[in-house]
C-alpha cells in the first residue's frame, strides 16, 4: 500500500490505462502481465497507482466474447484488477442492455456512464457518474463519457446525453466535493477530446480512446493534458501526475505508451480466468443452428447466394418494399451439412444492426448505379462496426435489376429496376431494410437523405442465425436478382452471380 504524503510534500500518481482492446485477448493478457509488474513496482516505491480502461474492451467478432456476451472480457478485467472503466460503443451498442448489469458486476469494479441515462433522464443504478479516489491525501475525481450515438441508444431503451453538458456537470460536482485533480475517461475520440479540453474548464487529464490514435506522449491544451496510447493492447498507457499540495495544483503530467511484445508472457491470473470460461464457450460455439443441402457461397464483386440469403432474412423479419445489404458483411462461404454457431460467427463477423428507413425511387436508382462500379464494391470497409474486408456487392430482396455495359467501357449502368415486380418510380417513397453500416458510413451518399430511420434491436447476424435454417429462404437465395443485357457481340442474358 502506498504511503500518505507528508504535509506539503509533492504527490506522484500513476495512471495505468488500456483502451480499445477489442477482444484481442492474448494481447490483453500480455499487457496485463506488464501492467501488473509496473503497478507493483510503483506501489513498492510508495507511490500511488490507479488502473483504468477507456472502453471497447470487448468486440463480438471474437468467439469467446460472442459466446459469453462479454463476460469473459469482464472476467479478465477482474483478474487484473481495475479501479474503473467506461463503456465504449462496443459495450453499449452490441451487448443487450438487459445484460449490462451482469457485465459490470463481473468486471469487479466501477463502470462509469456519466452521460448514459434511462429514457426520461434517470441514472442507471449499475453505472457510476463519478468516483473520488484518495491518493495520499490528494482527492482525485474521475468520470467517464461515451459517444452520443443517441438514435441508436434510444432504440435500445436508454439515452445518451451530450458529452460537454455531462462533463460540465461532473466537473462542477467533483470540484464542489473538494477534488484536487479531475480525470476524464473519454471514449469520444481524439478530436472530440481536444474540443472538450478547449470548451470545458476544470479537467486536468483526459485518458482517451475510440479513434485508435498512437500518441507518443501527452498533449497539452490549456490546462488539460490528453493522452491516448493506441489500440488492441499492442500498448497501454502510463500517465504520471505530479501534484503539489502547497499550491494545490498539478505541476506536471507525463504520458508514455508502454509497448507489448508478441512473445511477452501472459498474466497468469487473467489466463486462469479465461480458461474457466472455455467449457461453456466451446459448448455454445458448437451448437448446431441449421443444416444446408448445398454450399452457400459469398462473392464481393458479383451477386452471391449467401448475401441473398442474408438480405432475404432481414426482409423476412422486417417486411418493407425492398431489402439492400452489403455482401461485405460476410467473410466466408458455408459448406453443405450442419451449420454451427462458430461457423456463423466466422462467416458473418460484423456486428451491425438492421435499419428500416425511407428513400425515394431516384435515391435507390442512384445508390444501385453507384454500387456496381468496381471502385465501390472493392472499397475497403472501415469504422461503424465493420469487421470484413471490402464493402462488396449489394444484395437485394424483392427487387430485380437489369444492367448493361456502357458503350466502349466495361463499366456497368442501370437499364431497369423493378421493386415487387413493378418498375421503380423515381418520385415515390420506398421503405428499405438495410444495416447501420450502409446508413452511417460515407460509402453511399444517398443515405444522408434517408428519412424515418428506425434501428432494430438484434444484430443482423442474429437475424441470419434464426432464419438460415428456413428451407424456403435457402432455395430462394439461389434466385438471381441482377442480370446483364448483352453487348452487341454477345447473345442471351447473363446473371451477375457467383
CA 112 – CA 331 distance, rounded (Å) = 34
- Structural contact between residues 460 and 310, judged by C-beta atoms closer than 8 angstroms: yes
Q: Residue 313: which residues within 8 A CB-CB, separation 6 or more?
A: 463, 464, 466, 467, 468, 470, 473
- For residue 3, what pLDDT is reported? 47
Architecture of domain 11-281: 4-Layer Sandwich (3.60)
3-class secondary structure, 26: helix
CA 33 – CA 23 distance, rounded (Å) = 16
Eight-class DSSP state of 231: S
CATH number at 289-495: 3.90.780.10
List the pLDDT tens digit at each of the 498 positions of the chain: 454 544 578 899 999 999 999 999 999 999 999 999 999 999 999 999 999 999 999 999 899 999 999 999 999 999 999 999 999 999 999 999 999 999 999 999 999 999 999 999 999 999 999 999 999 999 999 999 999 999 889 988 999 999 999 999 999 999 999 999 999 999 999 999 999 999 999 999 999 999 999 999 999 999 999 999 999 999 999 999 999 999 999 999 999 999 999 999 999 999 999 999 999 999 999 999 999 999 999 999 999 999 999 999 999 999 999 999 999 999 999 999 999 999 999 999 888 999 999 999 999 999 999 999 999 999 999 877 788 899 999 999 999 999 998 777 778 889 999 999 999 999 999 999 999 999 999 999 999 999 999 999 899 999 999 999 999 999 999 999 999 987 555 444 445 555
- Structural contact between residues 310 and 345, judged by C-beta atoms closer than 8 angstroms: no
| Strands, E assignment, 167-229 | 181-186, 205-208, 219-221, 224-227
- For residue 495, what pLDDT is reported? 52
- Report domain extents, the chain: 11-281, 289-495
Max distance between CA atoms of the chain, in angstroms, equals: 92
- 130 CB-contact burial (10 Å; exposed 0-12 / middle 13-18 / buried 19+): buried
- Structural contact between residues 457 and 375, judged by C-beta atoms closer than 8 angstroms: no
Q: Residue 31: which residues within 8 A CB-CB, separation 6 or more?
A: 18, 21, 233, 235, 236, 260
C-alpha dist (Å) from residue 136 to 1, 96, 142, 202: 10, 39, 16, 21
CA 433 – CA 353 distance, rounded (Å) = 10
3-class secondary structure, 482: strand
Residues, the chain, total? 498
Q: Residue 156: which residues within 8 A CB-CB, separation 6 or more?
A: 93, 96, 97, 457
* Backbone CA torsion sign across 208, 213, 219, 221: negative
**Which cell goes with 25?**
485477448
What is the distance in angstroms between the CA of the first residue and the CA of the last residue of the chain? 64
Of the candidates 274, 282, 280, 309, the one whose C-alpha atom is nearest the C-alpha of residue 294 is 309
Amino acid at each position: 500500500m502506498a504511503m500518505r504524503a507528508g504535509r506539503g510534500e509533492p504527490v506522484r500518481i500513476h495512471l495505468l490505462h488500456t483502451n480499445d482492446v477489442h477482444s484481442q485477448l492474448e494481447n490483453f493478457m500480455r499487457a496485463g502481465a506488464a501492467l501488473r509488474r509496473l503497478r507493483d513496482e510503483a506501489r513498492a516505491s510508495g507511490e500511488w497507482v490507479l488502473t483504468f480502461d477507456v472502453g471497447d474492451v470487448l468486440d463480438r467478432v471474437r468467439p469467446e466474447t460472442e459466446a459469453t456476451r462479454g463476460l469473459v472480457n469482464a472476467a479478465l478485467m477482474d483478474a487484473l484488477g481495475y479501479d474503473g472503466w467506461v463503456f465504449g460503443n462496443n459495450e453499449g451498442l452490441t451487448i443487450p442492455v438487459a445484460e449490462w448489469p451482469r457485465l459490470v458486476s463481473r468486471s469487479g469494479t466501477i463502470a462509469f456512464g456519466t452521460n448514459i441515462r434511462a429514457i426520461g433522464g434517470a441514472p442507471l443504478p449499475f453505472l457510476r457518474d463519478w468516483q473520488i479516489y484518495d491518493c495520499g491525501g490528494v482527492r482525485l475525481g474521475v468520470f467517464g463519457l461515451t459517444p452520443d450515438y443517441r438514435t441508436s441508444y434510444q432504440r435500445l431503451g436508454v439515452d445518451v446525453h451530450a458529452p460537454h453538458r455531462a462533463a460540465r456537470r461532473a466537473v462542477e460536482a467533483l470540484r464542489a466535493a473538494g477534488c484536487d485533480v479531475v480525470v476524464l475517461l473519454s471514449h469520444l475520440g481524439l478530436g472530440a477530446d481536444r474540443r472538450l479540453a478547449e470548451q470545458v474548464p476544470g479537467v486536468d487529464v483526459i485518458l482517451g480512446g475510440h479513434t485508435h490514435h498512437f500518441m507518443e506522449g501527452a498533449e497539452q491544451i490549456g490546462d488539460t493534458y490528453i493522452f491516448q496510447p493506441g489500440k488492441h493492447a499492442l500498448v497501454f498507457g502510463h500517465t504520471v501526475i505530479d501534484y503539489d499540495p502547497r499550491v494545490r495544483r498539478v505541476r506536471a503530467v507525463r504520458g508514455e505508451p508502454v509497448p507489448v511484445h508478441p512473445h511477452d508472457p501472459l498474466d497468469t491470473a487473467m489466463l486462469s480466468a479465461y480458461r474457466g470460461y472455455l467449457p461453456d464457450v466451446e459448448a455454445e460455439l458448437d451448437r448446431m443452428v441449421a443444416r444446408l443441402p448445398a454450399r452457400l457461397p459469398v462473392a464481393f464483386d458479383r451477386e452471391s447466394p449467401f448475401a441473398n440469403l442474408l438480405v432475404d432474412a432481414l426482409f423476412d423479419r422486417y417486411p418493407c418494399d425492398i431489402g439492400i445489404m452489403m455482401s461485405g458483411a460476410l467473410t466466408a462461404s458455408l459448406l453443405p451439412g450442419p451449420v454451427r454457431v462458430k461457423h456463423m460467427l466466422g462467416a458473418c463477423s460484423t456486428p451491425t444492426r438492421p435499419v428500416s428507413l425511407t428513400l425515394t425511387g431516384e435515391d435507390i436508382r442512384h445508390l444501385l448505379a453507384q454500387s456496381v462500379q468496381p471502385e465501390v464494391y472493392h472499397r475497403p470497409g472501415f469504422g461503424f462496426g465493420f469487421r470484413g474486408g471490402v464493402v462488396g456487392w449489394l444484395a437485394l430482396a424483392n427487387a430485380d435489376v437489369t444492367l448493361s455495359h456502357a458503350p466502349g467501357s466495361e463499366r456497368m449502368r442501370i437499364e431497369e429496376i423493378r421493386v415487387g415486380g413493378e418498375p421503380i418510380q423515381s418520385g415515390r417513397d420506398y421503405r428499405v431494410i438495410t444495416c447501420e453500416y450502409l446508413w452511417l458510413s460515407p460509402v453511399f451518399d444517398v443515405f444522408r437523405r434517408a428519412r424515418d430511420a428506425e434501428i432494430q434491436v438484434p444484430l443482423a447476424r442474429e437475424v441470419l442465425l434464426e432464419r438460415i435454417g428456413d428451407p424456403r429462404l435457402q432455395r430462394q437465395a439461389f434466385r438471381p436478382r441482377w442480370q446483364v443485357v448483352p453487348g452487341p457481340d454477345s447473345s442471351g442474358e447473363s446473371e451477375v452471380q457467383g
